[in-house]
Amino acid sequence: MVNLANPTAFVELSRRVLPWLAAATTALFVVGLWLSFAAPPDYQQGETVKIMYLHVPAAWMATFVYAVMTASALGTLVWRHPLADVAQKAAAPLGAGFTFICLATGSLWGKPMWGTYWVWDARLTSVLVLFIIYLGLIALWRAIDDPGRAAKAVAILTLVGAVDLPIIKFSVDWWNTLHQPASVFRLGGPTIAPSLLIPLVVMALAFTCLFLTLHLMAIRNEILRRRIARVTMLAAVEGDRLAPGLAAGGA
């Protein structure tokens, strides 16, 4: 059993897993894009429905990444797992990226379908709030020098921001929105035709694998960053030990 709390063991495991994950991501994107372009047009939206194959997986990832960050925040505050804050810090820019794709593609889908790029609808606004929360968390990490204090502050803010997740999910049910209600994850099963659903599922798997690949790489980077800080500090301590010796030798 690999001890994932040990950064060295984690780096070694990720080194072995990453090539496979990267290959799976590439293969899923190739198949997903091919299926998306081969899929029939929607009877109402025509070919514009092709934007769905990017917009919907990006929207799912935007909330999934935040859920991962919420679990990591609990790991930092409750279980004090040594890699929890590392995982959280590494995930934030990726979550912001997926949320940006969701907002931008949604806007480009909204113009031809709704006649407007943006509307202050509950679903759109709650996703915009999620994007702002991601940016706020990234800024907070950078604003506090002490990594321990930064991790605690970010973890608390992440838990507060998690309130936005159910709001995003149920906004289309709680309020009258221009955005359509859920059509895949619903109690009665998906309402999308299989010819459109299959490419969507493959693209969602591709986005998930992309996140897992980039997240593992970003966690490794963060471990490296902390190693550099430790080695630099040790070098400074050794330098300080050397300096008095040199001063005594010179006297």
Residues that bind other proteins (CB under 8 A): 41, 46-48, 50-51, 54-55, 58, 93-94, 97, 100-101, 104-105, 108-109, 111-112, 210, 214, 217-218, 220-221, 224-225, 227-228, 231-232, 234-235, 238-239, 241-242, 245-246, 249
Q: One-letter amino acid identity for 90?
A: A
Q: Within 10 Å of residue 5's Cβ, how many Cβ atoms?
A: 13
Nearer to other proteins, 12 or 47 (CB): 47
Q: One-letter amino acid identity for 43?
A: Y
Q: For the chain, what is the largest distance between any 2 Cα atoms, rounded to a whole number of angstroms?
A: 90
* CA–CA gap between residue 22 and residue 25 (Å, rounded): 5
CB 158 within 8 A of CB 70: yes
Nearer to other proteins, 14 or 171 (CB): 14
Helices 194-250 and 52-74: crossing angle in degrees, nearest 10, is 50
Q: Is 213 helix (H, G, I), strand (E, B) or coil?
A: helix
CB 61 within 8 A of CB 206: no
* CA–CA gap between residue 213 and residue 18 (Å, rounded): 6
H or E segment and range at residue 38:
helix 7-38
Nearer to other proteins, 75 or 97 (CB): 97
* CA–CA gap between residue 148 and residue 206 (Å, rounded): 34
Nearest distance in Å: CB 176, other proteins: 25
- Read off the tokens for 30: 């190739």
